[in-house]
Structure 1
Amino acid sequence: MWVPVEDMDRARAFYRDTLGLTEQKTTEDWSEFDANGLMIGLNARESAQPTDGGAVITFQPEGGIEAEVEELKGKGVEFTGGISDHPWGRIAPFKDSEGNDLQFYAPPS
């Protein structure tokens, strides 16, 4: 899964420092991060125009979803709809530093 970025340094800082993901590889135009086994690529070669209805990167936080949301809010991340409950699990949508759609997911308990 890859997402377009306008500013690679800003995006790398968000994924590394704000989300706490492990950076695997980086070049001027491409960086890879490991999100619990999901590889997220940051692509500076494509125009980063946020779109409605595009791909959403979903991953499970290591801790509880509430704790992860509160921690990221403390780092200035804006959650667009809070945590919502569904029969298939819970989600908490937010955007990265480049306007790409991300969300945390927790399976039903």
Structure 2
Amino acid sequence: MVQGLNTLICQISDMDRAVAFYRDVLGLSPRLVTPYWSDFMLGPIRLGLHPKFRGEASGGGWIVGVEVADLKALRTRLSEAGYPTDHPYHETPLGVVVDFADPDGNPLQAIQLGTKMSDFA
């Protein structure tokens, strides 16, 4: 089902400050910098910076983003196993994602690369 780790996402409160930290303090080279998404490559893994998600009670933090070949199948499997899948699909420049959590409530996100929202209608 899961093909591998795709992105480690960090929810941040100030994009400029966060980019400066990862670039200037840690010495990483940004691949993309925008007000809504910035990322750096850590070998084969993307480190993504994203403003805090709306409605997140946790106030931010890390999310593990995995890559899947069939996002609909993952969502069905989660639902059948009793895990809530009430988060809507969300289109990104790389593909469509869906958010979910493990049994302890730790946030996860799955992406099916190369897809558009119209693929999930």
- Give the structure-2-normalised TM-score: 0.45
- Give the structure-1-normalised TM-score: 0.49
